[in-house]
Amino acid sequence: MKNKKKKITFSIDPDVHEKFTVALMLTGETQTAALEKCVKEYISKIFFKESEKFSTTTPLSTETPKAINRIPRWAKNPDQINHKIIRAYFLLREENENITVYDMERLCLDRSRPDTFAPTFRNNYAQMKIETPKSTGKVFEEKGGFVYIWDRVAPTLENYKKYFIEKRGATEPETKQENSET
């Protein structure tokens, strides 16, 4: 069963436990909900940190980058986190050529912007910087502290850019209309 929870047991310093109990009373959260948030944040932080170990350049390969096949689906699904992150990049790019991770994170964590709000930004962005069998597919690179679109997916992403920029209802890119019926 997919939603079955796993039980974790651990010991904690008594002072930390006391402060944690007070914090729970202040927020009204359950212990389970609060600890699950902490574990998710820890996972996100570690994945983000570990992704930094990967080179920002990926050796050229004859294989098609994974993101090439995923960009069309991301483009058409504005509620998906990867869509929101790419949208944030394009929106920031309209304002400034030099975009930092901090700029993207700030926009993606802004709850007042549902079109770019991505609460798991760090984890998803980290996955979007690496091309590995278990990643979602590389889209971004960082050079000199700035974020760029990876050159191997840039043409595809540019072809679908209007889906990420416009509100719902953009038309199909012309290169994808080759299977249209007459």
User: What is the DSSP code string of 156-173?
Assistant: HHHHTHHHHHS-S-PPPP
Question: For position 158, what pLDDT does the model report?
Answer: 94
Do residues 138 and 58 lie in contact, with contact meaning Cβ atoms separated by under 8 Å? yes
The predicted-structure confidence for 81-106, as pLDDT tens digits, reads as follows 999 999 999 999 999 889 999 999 99
Q: Domain ranges for the chain, please list them.
A: 14-51, 66-169
Percent of the chain past pLDDT 90, that is, above it, reads 52
pTM above 0.85, yes or no: no
Output the average pLDDT for the chain. 83
